[in-house]
C-alpha cells in the first residue's frame, strides 16, 4: 500500500493484511506504514475508533490476522524527505555488506542513530526507507548505540524479523566487537559475568551500573594487540544489555577509549592526541543461521579508516619506543 505524502486532501484507505503482516499489533502496523505521523496521533485515532478492522473498532494491542481489512482514516503525512539527510542515504547504500530477499546487514557509521527520536529527527531506518520507498517492509532487528559503528541487521520480511528475534532470545546469533581499551588484559580470554542495572538520571541521561539488582550480563574479552597503556580486544556477547561492553570493560579496570560516560578522562585525552575523535567500539562480525535449511550467514564489517589510523599510530609509537 502506498500512502501519499503530497496529496492536499488525504483520503480513507483500506488495506488487506497479508500473511507476512499477520501477527503484529495494529499500533505497530500503523507506526510502520504511517512513518511520518507522530505516535500520539496514531494512538489518538485508535482511541477514537477511526481505525477499523473488518468494520469493527479495535484496541491498540489487537493482533492482525491474514486477510483482515484495515480502515485507515485520512491523516496528513509530513513529507518524509524533508527530514532526511540525503547524504546519509548515499552513505548507507555504499555500506551494505550483505543483502538477500529477507535481510540487509550494513556497516553502520559512527555518529548516526539507528532511528529517530530523543532529539534526533531521523536515523538509519528512516534514511533506508527514504532510499527505498517501494520496499514493502524494512525493520530494525536490533540496535547499536549512536557512537558505535559496525554490523547492523535490517529485516526485509516480517517472517525474517521473527526468526532473528527468536535467535537473539536464544543466544544463537554470535556478535563480535572490536574495542580499544585502557591497560593490558590477560593473554588468555576471560569472561565478565556481572549483572547490569539501568538508571535514569534527573537530567534524563541514561546510566548503567553493575548491580546485584540488575539483569544478567556476560561478555568475553580476548586480547588481540598490546600497545603502550592500551589494548585492542575482541568482545563476544552472551547477552546484549544497554552499554554492556562499555560498563563491563570499565568494571574490569579497562575502560574503552573515547568513552565520555564510563571512561577515564586522562586516557581519553591521550587518545585524542593520537587522533581518536569518537568511541572506539566497532561491531565487526555477525554469525547467524538462516531460517529452515538456509545456509549460515557470516558477515564482517571493516574497521573505519579513522580507527585504523589510530591503531597504526599506536603501533608506530610502540615500535619507536621498542
CA of residue 273 relative to chain centroid, distance: 29
Evaluated on CA atoms 191, 196, 173, 255, the torsion sign reads negative
As a whole number of angstroms, the distance between CA 13 and CA 34 comes to 12
> Which entry of 68, 100, 101, 145 is annotated as an active-site residue?
145
Lookup result for grid cell 516480517: 158
Q: In Å, what is the CA distance from 88 to each residue of 98, 127, 138?
A: 18, 7, 17
As a whole number of angstroms, the distance between CA 151 and CA 284 comes to 6
As a whole number of angstroms, the distance between CA 97 and CA 109 comes to 13
Residues in the chain: 322
Class of residue 235 by CB neighbours under 10 A (exposed 0-12, middle 13-18, buried 19+)? buried
Is 94 catalytic? The answer is no
As a whole number of angstroms, the distance between CA 165 and CA 28 comes to 16
CA angle at 171 for the pair 170 and 173, rounded to the nearest 5°: 120
As a whole number of angstroms, the distance between CA 154 and CA 3 comes to 22
As a whole number of angstroms, the distance between CA 241 and CA 217 comes to 7
Q: Which residues lie closer than 8 Å to 229 by C-beta, 6 or more apart?
A: 182, 183, 267, 270
By annotation, the residues acting in catalysis are 145
Amino acid at each position: 500500500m502506498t500512502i501519499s505524502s503530497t496529496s492536499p486532501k488525504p483520503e480513507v484507505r483500506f488495506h488487506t493484511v497479508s500473511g507476512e503482516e499477520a501477527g503484529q499489533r495494529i499500533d505497530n502496523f500503523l507506526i510502520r506504514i504511517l512513518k511520518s505521523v507522530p505516535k500520539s496521533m496514531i494512538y489518538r485515532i485508535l482511541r477514537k475508533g477511526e481505525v477499523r478492522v473488518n468494520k469493527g473498532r479495535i484496541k491498540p494491542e489487537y493482533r492482525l490476522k491474514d486477510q483482515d481489512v484495515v480502515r485507515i482514516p485520512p491523516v496528513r503525512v509530513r513529507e518524509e524527505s524533508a527530514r532526511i539527510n540525503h547524504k546519509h542515504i548515499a552513505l548507507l547504500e555504499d555500506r551494505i555488506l550483505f543483502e538477500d530477499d529477507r535481510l540487509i546487514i550494513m556497516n553502520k557509521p559512527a555518529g548516526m542513530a539507528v532511528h529517530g527520536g530523543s532529539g534526533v529527527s531521523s536515523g538509519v531506518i528512516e534514511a533506508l526507507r527514504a532510499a527505498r520507498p517501494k520496499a514493502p517492509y524494512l525493520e530494525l532487528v536490533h540496535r547499536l548505540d549512536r557512537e558505535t559503528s559496525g554490523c547492523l541487521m535490517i529485516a526485509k520480511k516480517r517472517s525474517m524479523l521473527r526468526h532473528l528475534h527468536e535467535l537473539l532470545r536464544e543466544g544463537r546469533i554470535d556478535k563480535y566487537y572490536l574495542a580499544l581499551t585502557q591497560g593490558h588484559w590477560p593473554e588468555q580470554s576471560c569472561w565478565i559475568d556481572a549483572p547490569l542495572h539501568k538508571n535514569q538520571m534527573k537530567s534524563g541521561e541514561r546510566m548503567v551500573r553493575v548491580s546485584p539488582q540488575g539483569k544478567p550480563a556476560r561478555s568475553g574479552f580476548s586480547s588481540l594487540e598490546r600497545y603502550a597503556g592500551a589494548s585492542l580486544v575482541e568482545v563476544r556477547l552472551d547477552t546484549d544489555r544497554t552499554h554492556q561492553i562499555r560498563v563491563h570493560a570499565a568494571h574490569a579496570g579497562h575502560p574503552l577509549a573515547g568513552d565520555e560516560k564510563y571512561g577515564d578522562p586522562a586516557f581519553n585525552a591521550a587518545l585524542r592526541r593520537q587522533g581518536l575523535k569518537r568511541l572506539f567500539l566497532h561491531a565487526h562480525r555477525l554469525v547467524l543461521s538462516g531460517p529452515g535449511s538456509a545456509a549460515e550467514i557470516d558477515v564482517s564489517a571493516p574497521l573505519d579508516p579513522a580507527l585504523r589510523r589510530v591503531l597504526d599510530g599506536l603501533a608506530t609509537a610502540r615500535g619507536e619506543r621498542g
